[in-house]
Structure 1
Amino acid sequence: MDLQIAKWGNSLALRIPADYVRRLGIKEGDHVQADLTADGGISIRAAKWDRAAFVRELEKMHDTMPVTESVIEELRRGARY
């Protein structure tokens, strides 16, 4: 998703899309954890991670992204330890 940075006082702000807000289970006033990633990106996550909500989201995606035996073997062959 392509997002736009906007000026907010002396800082810059990023609007979080409503769908992401619902998935994270955050609301106005909640705290989030922001980290810089090794590849120069920014990782933002809810400070209070809802493990049960994450599991429900994974269960929804499970049927749309089946992992077959051939995919697993391909991943193992390409794995670098």
Structure 2
Amino acid sequence: MILQVVTWGGSLALRIPADYALQAGLKEGSWVSAALTVDGGISIRPLKWDRATFAQGLERPREAMRMTQSVTEELRRGARY
């Protein structure tokens, strides 16, 4: 996702899309940890990661996926001779 950096007072700010914030368990007033990475990037992580909220965010895409035969089983059958 491409985000635009904007000025907010004397600082720079990013607006986090609602679905990203929901999956990360962020809401107004949440605290995050920001760090510079060795490749010049910025890593932003919630101070308190909510595993349950993250898992709930994964349910919708999982429900949309069709359940088919296991790829692992298919590969195992093909490897047998």
TM-score by length of 2: 0.64
Q: Secondary structure at the match of 2:3?
A: coil
Report the residue type matching 1:49 in the other structure.
W
Residue segments in structure 1 that go unaligned for 5+ positions in a row: 70-81
1:2-42 deviation per Cα after TM superposition (whole angstroms, max 9, x unaligned): 10000001111111011101111111111111111111111
The structure 1 segments of at least 4 consecutive aligned residues displaced by more than 2 Å after TM superposition are 51-64
Residue segments in structure 2 that go unaligned for 5+ positions in a row: 66-70, 73-81
Structure 1 or 2, whichever has the larger Rg, is: 2
Higher RCO (C-alpha 8 Å, min separation 6) = 2
Identity in percent:
58
C-alpha deviation, 1:54, in angstroms? 3.5
> What is the count of residue pairs matched by the alignment?
68
TM-score by length of 1: 0.64
